[in-house]
Structure 1
Amino acid sequence: MMEGNGRGRKVVINIASEGPKGSSPKEAEALNPKQNCQGAPNKTSTESGAVTTNRMDQYEKVEKIGEGTYGVVYKARDRITNETIALKKIRLEQEDEGVPSTAIREISLLKEMQHGNIVRLQDVVHSEKRLYLVFEYLDLDLKKHMDSCPEFGKDPRIIKTFLYQILRGIAYCHSHRVLHRDLKPQNLLIDPRTKALKLADFGLARAFGIPVRTFTHEVVTLWYRAPEILLGSRHYSTPVDVWSVGCIFAEMVNQRPLFPGDSEIDELFKIFRILGTPNEDTWPGVTSLPDFKSAFPKWPTKNLATVVPNLESAGIDLLSVKAVYVGLNISPIPDDHKMLCMDPSKRITARSALEHEYLKDIGFVP
C-alpha cells in the first residue's frame, strides 16, 4: 500500500491496487456491499478480521461539524456504548454505482492501525449506496489551535512535542505501508487536555483518491503537496508525507503557511523561489517528470534560516540544506537528506527525523 498512482485530479473512488495478495473472488464478493442487501447478514469480515456493518441505527447523529476532503463530518453518539464519535459520510462520485468492494477492503484494513498518534477507525458502516466511517471524536485540530494561540510559534517546546508526535504517527503508518498524501493542519487532531496529537484520514487517499475539490466544492489546498506530485510523478511513496510535515513544521514556527499557492503552478513557483528551481544536478530525473518545463524560471536557493527566522539552527538543519551552526555541537545529517529536500529519493524518512538533534530534548510526550 505504498506507492501512489497519479495526482488524483478527479473526485473518484479509485484504488491503486487490487487488494491483498491472494484475495479470492469469494473474499472480494464478501466485501461487496451490494451483496449485503435484503436477507443478508448485517456484518461482513475481511480475511484479516476487520469487520464492517450496515447497521446505521447504532449511531445517532448529533450535529454536523464540518465538510472534509472526503465528505461531511458529523458529531454522533454510539447508542450501545454512549460514546461520542465522529461519523464521516464519504462522498461517492457515482452514488448509483454503489460502494466498490475494493474501497471497502482498503478501508477495513485500516482498522488494524492501532497507535497513540493515529485517530482510531472504529467501524465501517455501509449500505448499498452509502459509506460511513466511524472514528474516535476530537474537536480540536492544529489549525484551530494555531489560530486561537497567537503565541504558539514562540514556544519551541510545544512545537517540538507536536512535531515529534506527527513524525511518530507517520513512521508507524509508513512501517505498515500506508501513506496519507494529504497531510495538513486541519487533519492533525489534538486532545486539549493532554496535548496528545493524532493524525486523521490516513489511508483515505488510497481508497478514494485525492479530490481536487471538497464535498462543498472548496478547492483542496495545495500548500502541503510534495513537488513530485505537483510535477506529475505517477510513482511516489512515503517521502510525500515527510514533505508535508516539513511544511507544517515551518508553519508552526512562522504562524503562517510556508508555500501558500493558489494553483499548481503557483505552488511550484512558491517552492522554487525559496528552495531553488530543481535541475538534473540537484534532482536527477526531474526534467523527465510529466509537468516539468524547461522554461521554468531559474531561481537560486535561499537560506531557510532567513525564511523561518525564529527557528533554532538544529531545526533549520532538519528542514533544509542551508543550516547555520552557531554555538551548537551538531553533526548534521547529509545536506540532501532533509524534510524539504526536493528530490524525494534523498528526503529524510520519518523514522530518521525522530532521531534528529532538534528532537533530542523534547522530554515527556503524550
Structure 2
Amino acid sequence: MYPESKTMAPVAPRAPITLSKPSQPPSQCRFFARRRTLVQAASAPAKTEKEASSEDPVAVSTRHAVRALSGLARQLCVLLAQPEMDCEELRSLNFSCIRTREQFVRSYHEDPDFLSEVESVLVLNVGRAFHAALDCFRLLDELPSVPPSIAVLLFPGEQRTEALEEECELIRNLFELGADDVIILPGSQTLTRHRMQTAILRSELTAIKAAEVIAREAERVKKRQSRSLQELSQKYLWELPGAVLQGIPPMDDTSVDGGDSTKVGGYLLTSRLGAGSFGAVFKVGHPKHGDRALKVLEKDSMKTVCQLFAVNRELSIMLNIAPHPNIVQAFEAFHTPSSIALVMEYSGELNLRSFTLKALKGSGEKVLPCDTVFRFSRQAAAGLAHLHYFRVCHRDLKPKNFVISNEGTVLKLTDFGLSCLSFGPHQRLLHMCGSLPFIAPEVLSLQHDWQVDVGGYDGFAADVWSLGVNFVELVHGMYTIERLLGWAPQPPLDVKQQLRDLECFPSVWQSTPKMHVPRLQTIVDSIFVLQPDRRCTIEWIVGSDGLCIDGADQCPFHRCSSVSPRGER
C-alpha cells in the first residue's frame, strides 16, 4: 500500500518586484556641510552645568584657543607642554596627532618617521610654567629632522597688548632652542586658521630664502674652486663682530705676523698656561708691555652664532669691569683671520689646584697652612664681591679658575667664559652651567624633567654656594666633597643621583669633623643652605660679621642689602 500523500498548503502569489533608482544624497551645495554640522550640534546632548564646571580650566582654555583650526588639523601635530591640557574635546578636532611630552618621546622611539606627514608641530603652553615649553623645544632640538615648530603661549584671563619682560626672555630662549615662530594669546583670544597658516608660511619662506642664498653662494664657491661651504659660512659668521657684537673687534689683517706661529698680533708666545674647548692661554712677551697672558680662541672651533655670542659676552665683561686686585685684568682684544685674542695681565703660572698639589708634595702635609688658607679665602671672596657689585655672575667658580702668583701670595679670579650679567636675585637664569662638585643644587636641577617647579635660579646665590665648596677644599684638602659624598673616584652617571647627593650635603657637612680656621667654619655653615633666598650673600661674607676684609664696609657693594647667616633680612 502506498503511503498517504501529504497535502500542501496553498502558496500565496508573489507580489510583483519593482526596481527603483537608489536614493541620491542631497547635492553637495556649499551650505550642505554647514547644515549637517548644525543638525548634529542641535541633536547632541547639551552638557549640564555641573559637567561644564567640572572640566579642567587648562583643558577648556586649550580647546578654546585652537577650536578654529579644525580645517588645518590633519596637517598639524600638537605637542602639549602640560599633560592636563589633554581632553576628549581637543582630540575630537582631528589633529594629525596630539601628544604630551612623554607620549611624544614614546611615539618617536616606536616610529622615528611618525612626523613625516606633518606640516608643522604646534607646541601649546598654558600660563607661566615656562619651563614646560622650553623642555618641549629642547626635546625637538635633539631630533634630527623636525617640521617647522611653532610655540603658542596661552595666558587665559589676561588682557593686554604687549609682551611682559619675562615673556620677551622666554621668546628669546625659544628661538635659541629652534622655534620657528612664537604666538602669544592673552585673554580669550583664539588661534585663527589665517594666523596659523601665516606662521607656517613665514617659516617655510624663511627656509626657502635661506636655501636660495646658500645655493647661490655655493654656486659661486663651486665656480671659484677656492672655498668650501664651511669657509663660506664662517665668512658670514665672522662679519658679525664689530657690526653686531660690539665686544669682538672687527678683523684686522695687519695683526698677522707673516706666518710666524710663535707670534700673534705682535706678542711672542713663550709658554702654554692652559687650554679650553675653544683655544688656549699662553704666556707672551711684548717689547713695550712686557709679560702678558694671551687667551687665543681659534675661529675654526666656533661653528655657531651662539658660540660667537658667548665669546662676545666674555670679552665685553672682562674689558668693561673695573680693575680689582683679585680679578685678572683684561687690556685689549684683537681679531685676526684665524683667531680672536684677549690680552690679559700675567698673574702666574699655576692655578689654585696645581699650586696646592705642588705645595703639598713639597711639604708632605695634607692641607695648606692655616694662614695661606685664610688669605686665599679672603681674596677669593673679595674678587667675587667685586663681580657681584657690577652685576656679573661668574657661574664656574672652581680651583682651576683661580690663578696664584708665582710668589704664592696673591689669588686672582679668571676665565669668564660662562659669566653673564644679572640684574638682581629676581632675575632667573635658565642656562645650566658649572662643574661638579662645585655647582649649586638649584642649577643642577635644571637638567631634570621631573622637577616640576623649576623656574630658573639666582646666579648670585649659586656663585656663593660654589665659593663655599672652594672654601671646603682649601681648608680640608682637595677632593673633600667627593669623599664626603662617596663620589670617589668619579661621581655617579645618574644626574638624579648627583642632585640627591648635593641636596644631602648640608646635613653631611654638619656631621663632619672640621679643622679650625678663624671665621671660615661659621661662613661655610651659612653658605650650605638649600634655599637660595636663605643663603648668605657675598656682602655678608666679606663684611664685619664674616671675613672682615679691610675696608669692606666702605666698599660700594655694601650699600646693597645683606643677609644674615640664617637668612633674616
Q: Is the 8 A contact 1:180 1:204 kept in 2?
A: yes
Structure 2: gaps spanning 5 or more residues: 1-130, 142-168, 173-236, 256-263, 422-429, 447-453, 552-569
Q: Is the 8 A contact 2:439 2:462 kept in 1?
A: yes
Q: Is the 8 A contact 1:78 1:85 kept in 2?
A: no
User: Among residues 495, 498, 511, which one is paired with 1:267 in the alignment?
Assistant: 498
Partner of 2:469 in structure 1? 247
Partner of 2:412 in structure 1? 198
Partner of 2:394 in structure 1? 180
Equivalent positions of 1:45-194 (< 5 A) are 54=252, 55=255, 56-68=264-276, 70-89=278-297, 94-95=302-303, 100=308, 103-104=311-312, 107-113=315-321, 114-127=323-336, 130-137=339-346, 138-150=348-360, 151=365, 153=367, 155-193=369-407
Partner of 1:225 in structure 2? 439
Partner of 1:334 in structure 2? none
**1:354 offset after TM fit, Å?**
0.9
Deviations 1:43-67 (A, max 9, x none): 899989x977743432232333332
3-state SS, counterpart of residue 87 of structure 1: strand
Q: Is the 8 A contact 1:116 1:198 kept in 2?
A: yes
Partner of 1:13 in structure 2? none
**1:357 offset after TM fit, Å?**
4.5
Alignment partners' CA distance in 2, 1:243 and 1:98 = 27
3-state SS, counterpart of residue 351 of structure 1: helix
Matched, 1:350 2:538: yes
Q: Is the 8 A contact 1:122 1:135 kept in 2?
A: yes
**1:186 offset after TM fit, Å?**
0.6
- Residues 1:251 and 1:108: Cα distance change in structure 2 (over 3 Å): same
Q: Is the 8 A contact 2:267 2:285 kept in 1?
A: yes
Q: In angstroms, what is the RMSD of aligned CA positions?
A: 4.0
Q: Rg: which structure is higher? A: 2
Matched, 1:310 2:515: yes
**1:355 offset after TM fit, Å?**
1.9
- Residues 1:102 and 1:86: Cα distance change in structure 2 (over 3 Å): closer
Tell which has more relative contact order, 1 or 2 (C-alpha 8 A, sep 6+): 1
3-state SS, counterpart of residue 95 of structure 1: coil
- Residues 1:106 and 1:186: Cα distance change in structure 2 (over 3 Å): closer
Worse-superposed segment, 229-238 or 245-254: 229-238
Alignment partners' CA distance in 1, 2:404 and 2:411 = 4
Letter in 1 for 2:293: I
- Residues 1:182 and 1:248: Cα distance change in structure 2 (over 3 Å): same
Alignment partners' CA distance in 2, 1:116 and 1:259 = 29
Aligned residue pairs: how many? 282
Alignment partners' CA distance in 2, 1:252 and 1:105 = 30
Partner of 1:28 in structure 2? none
- Residues 1:81 and 1:358: Cα distance change in structure 2 (over 3 Å): closer
3-state SS, counterpart of residue 85 of structure 1: strand
Q: Which has the higher helix share?
A: 2
3-state SS, counterpart of residue 235 of structure 1: coil
**1:235 offset after TM fit, Å?**
3.4
**1:69 offset after TM fit, Å?**
5.5
Alignment partners' CA distance in 2, 1:104 and 1:239 = 25
Partner of 1:288 in structure 2? none
Q: Is the 8 A contact 2:379 2:411 kept in 1?
A: yes
Identical positions, percent: 22
Worse-superposed segment, 223-232 or 152-161: 152-161
Alignment partners' CA distance in 2, 1:91 and 1:307 = 47
**1:191 offset after TM fit, Å?**
1.0
**1:71 offset after TM fit, Å?**
3.2
Worse-superposed segment, 168-177 or 232-241: 232-241
**1:116 offset after TM fit, Å?**
0.8
3-state SS, counterpart of residue 318 of structure 1: helix
Alignment partners' CA distance in 1, 2:549 and 2:371 = 9
Partner of 1:325 in structure 2? none
TM superposition outliers: structure 1 runs of 4+ over 4 Å? 43-48, 50-53, 90-94, 96-99, 209-212, 360-363
Deviations 1:155-214 (A, max 9, x none): 22221111111111101111111111011001101113261110001364449x9898xx
- Residues 1:253 and 1:35: Cα distance change in structure 2 (over 3 Å): closer
3-state SS, counterpart of residue 74 of structure 1: strand
**1:348 offset after TM fit, Å?**
1.1
**1:101 offset after TM fit, Å?**
6.1
